[in-house]
Amino acid sequence: MLLPRTRTRTRTRTKTEVMRRAVELGFASWLTITILSQHPNTTFDRLRTGDKVGLLIPNWRFFAPTPAQHDYHLLYRTLDTDGEQSAWRSASQINKRKWAHAVWFPGRRQEKAVFDVCGELGRLTVRKDVKVTDSAAYRLLRDFVTRHLDESDPRRGSLTGFQFLVVLYSGHDDSEDPQYSFISPFIRLPEPDPTDRADDADPTGHVDQLEPAA
């Protein structure tokens, strides 16, 4: 017959063993779900439905299964009151990487945002059921260039509108020619006012004065 102290120790060991098994099972389940949720098939995204904030189940599919091999470059050209159009200029810039960027690189957020929006716009261009100029991606890029003109272009007061161009290029690989992903219609600029946003003009207006992208 077990003594009371022996019974207590036995129950304690049993509880400890149950807790240990439960923790092991929990970690094993979490690891299995994490591995399965990295599968490129979006069906496995259902495993994340319980993780509302995206902290419990990490997503490592940023570079997999097909890593990004190209960058997007956002260009624009303007039309002034004399009907003169400018050369293509850059509205976005890829900053040269430094060792300090491994710790602090706030400029990367804008680069990533432009990359994502340009990618979304490129995907919309191949869809027949979507009017690209009505999409959020188009409006974001339009407003991004408008703000760039308002803040950075000394000729802003004499400009009547602009076009923007999304270019897909291979970065440091010079063996591949850039690809033109999307060119916008002519976008009329309002009178210079930092609180206003540009509105789309009738594409039958000044668009003929702007040559198509070469």
pTM for this entry: 0.54
The per-residue pLDDT for 41 is: 73
Residue (of 109, 112, 165) closest to 141 by Cα position: 165
Q: Residues 29-38: pLDDT tens digits?
A: 888 888 888 7
Per-residue pLDDT averaged across 44-51, rounded?
Answer: 76
> Any residues with CB less than 8 A from the CB of 120 and at least 6 apart, and which?
135, 137
State residue 94's pLDDT score: 61
State phi, psi for 165 to the nearest 5 degrees. -135, 130
Instruction: Flag whether pLDDT at 65 surpasses 60.
Output: no
Residues across the chain:
214
| Between 56 and 198, the higher pLDDT residue | 56
User: At 102, is the pLDDT very low, low, confident or very high (cuts 50, 70, 90)?
Assistant: low
CA distances for 120 relative to 21, 46, 167, angstroms: 46, 23, 13
* Lowest mean pLDDT segment, chosen from 51-60, 65-74, 174-183, 189-198: 189-198
pLDDT score for 197: 45
175 vs 120, residue with greater confidence: 120
Give 199's pLDDT tier (boundaries 50, 70, 90). Answer: very low
Task: Give the pLDDT confidence of 143-159 residue by residue, as tens digits.
Answer: 999 998 988 888 888 89
Instruction: Answer whether residue 39 shows pLDDT above 80.
Output: no
Check residue 185 and give its pLDDT. 92
What's the pLDDT band for 111 if we cut at 50, 70, 90?
Answer: confident
